[in-house]
Amino acid sequence: MTTLALLATLALGSPAAAAPSGSVTFAIPSEPATVDPAIEVAGPGYRVLVQLYEGLLEYRGATTELGPALAQSWTVAPDGSWIDLKLRPNVRFHDGTILDAETVKASIERTKAIGRGGAFFLQTLKEVQVVDRMTVRLVAAQPSVSLLYGLPKVFITGKAHLADPDHGAAFFATGSNGTGPYRLTRWDKGQTILLDHFPDYWRGFPGNHVAQVVERVVPAAGTQQLLLERGDAHLVVLASIGITQDPKELAAKPGVRMVESPAFRVTVISMNTQKGPLKDVRLRKALQAAFDYDGMVQVYKGYAEVPNSPLPKGFTQAYEPSLPPFKRDLGQAKRLLAEAGYQGRPLTLSFVYTETEPQARLAGLLMQQAVQELGITLSLEGKPFATLAAQIANLETAPDIQATLTMTPRSADPGELLRTLYLGNNAGKPFNYSWYASPTVDRLLADADRTFDDAKRMALYREVARKLIEDAPSIWAAYPRLIEVMRDEVQGYTYSPLNYSGIFPFYPIWLRQ
């Protein structure tokens, strides 16, 4: 394998180069249960974590290209068995301590031991070795593509509190000690999360930057919209998560604009493959055939396409444009229903969704109407995200159907998204809410992760996608475009296509006066 050794070529500004100014207000639909970077994985927490923490590597801007971050260079063993990372000198954590190899080792080991959050990307990590004060070696139990491509999402913390009896759990639940451009200074639960710029940030603050970020908890989409129109919020999690009106109509309001960004997104409705009637693949396929895909495009106000694959459109060579798009076929749905033994039999299925996501409710109503023609009753219920996740995590209480909605890859390797949604040992966890487990898919994903030849790896992922279409654990309902609405004065916004929707890294953002 070709050695990867990429040195940073961008000139870094001094922390004293400029003084950030102004405060940006971001209306968020819900707050996280924790801001522990070793635990939090869902959108509510990521909106905070990306401001506070960084990985050893990063994805450059709006690309899927790996670049240096806390590590200024890296080298991968020819057989993929280890990765050496040379750390950037003079990087400070929020508590004033300096980044070094021992700190990186302690941070990564804590994340792996907890087994949540960034540990998803460390499953093949065998050992963290300190080569010297500023060099770490990540030794893999087996060659692993996912270990390399996941490093941007493994956040590094300072050493403080890691030796506490609880290994920092109490501190990191509501506090921060990262290297990011902002630090958590106040959290009024249920109201606001206050982030202030970190004066000793290693990139400095050259040019224009905001001094403070106020994340304001606003569950109702209508209230978010009102705050945006009045100028009381600069950014909202509105169009990206729950379009309730055409964004162009909102952007026509004085002081508001619409931004469309390239994105890799797929809307997923999960069906429980291990419990109840939907254990029968014929019934799952009947629901797929009954689903109103064109209607789902209209749920997104036309800013979407009908999908043809479990993978987002255009996401690497694993995506197959030649696959036929999914379509509604009531005749096929009725035939499959009869084969499964449900023709003429009453059938009620539960459908749960996150109550703060209007599109999830609309998707449920759309599906409820679609399956009525099959004699199926769909019982809809919206719940807070944390409540919903806890319900799904227990197979006994898990619903028949769950609207995961928009999924976005977090890594440039398709295996990350496929493992998140469909790996057997992730069943019931975010976001394998279909409780799907297939030895064939697990084997293909494992083979792909050991394959550093891009063409061969992508061929394996294409096999996975075709197997998923055959097994029907989900309804892949839409390829939504990424639409954001924000105040005119917001400048510098760039969306990373490897982040969730509604994630705004605030470091490049500034407010035009």
CA 471, CA 341: separation in Å to the nearest integer? 18
CA 444, CA 80: separation in Å to the nearest integer? 18
| Through-space distance between the first and last CA atoms of the chain, rounded to whole angstroms | 50
> Any idea what the Cα angle at residue 424 is, between residues 366 and 277, rounded to 5°?
45
CATH pick for 54-176 out of 3.90.950.20, 3.40.430.10, 3.90.76.10, 3.90.226.10: 3.90.76.10
CATH tag, 266-480: 3.10.105.10
**Under a CB-based contact definition with an 8 Å cutoff, are residues 256 and 483 in contact?**
no
CATH H-level superfamily of 15-34+47-52+180-261+483-513: Periplasmic binding protein-like II (3.40.190.10)
What pLDDT does residue 386 have? Answer: 83
Give me the DSSP letters along 395-444: TTT--SEEEEEEE--SSSSTHHHHHHHH-GGGBTSTTBTT----HHHHHH
What pLDDT does residue 239 have? Answer: 56
Question: Could you tell me which of 135, 138, 137 has the C-alpha nearest to residue 146?
Answer: 138
Domain boundaries, the chain: 15-34+47-52+180-261+483-513, 54-176, 266-480
CA 492, CA 511: separation in Å to the nearest integer? 9
What pLDDT does residue 141 have? Answer: 95
Question: Could you tell me which of 271, 268, 287 has the C-alpha nearest to residue 401?
Answer: 271
Structure tokens at 280: 């029968």
Residue 296's DSSP bridge partners are: none
**Under a CB-based contact definition with an 8 Å cutoff, are residues 30 and 385 in contact?**
yes
pTM attached to this predicted model: 0.85
Question: Could you tell me which of 486, 489, 490 has the C-alpha nearest to residue 258?
Answer: 486
**Under a CB-based contact definition with an 8 Å cutoff, are residues 399 and 415 in contact?**
no
Distances (CA, A) of 447 to 4, 121, 440, 451: 22, 16, 11, 6
**Under a CB-based contact definition with an 8 Å cutoff, are residues 281 and 339 in contact?**
no
CA 55, CA 152: separation in Å to the nearest integer? 5
Radius of gyration, CA atoms only, the chain:
23
CA 371, CA 356: separation in Å to the nearest integer? 24
Residue-wise pLDDT tens for the chain (513 aa)? 434 443 333 334 444 456 899 999 999 988 999 999 999 877 888 999 999 999 999 999 888 899 999 999 999 999 899 999 999 999 999 999 999 999 999 999 999 999 988 998 999 999 999 999 999 999 999 999 999 999 999 999 999 999 899 999 999 999 999 999 999 999 999 999 999 999 999 999 999 999 999 999 998 888 998 999 999 999 998 655 556 678 888 899 999 999 988 889 999 999 999 999 999 999 999 999 999 999 999 998 899 999 999 999 999 999 999 999 999 999 999 999 999 999 888 999 999 998 877 788 999 999 999 999 999 999 999 998 889 989 999 999 999 999 877 899 999 999 999 999 999 999 998 899 999 999 999 999 999 999 999 999 999 999 999 999 999 999 999 999 888 999 999 999 988 899 887 889 999 999 998
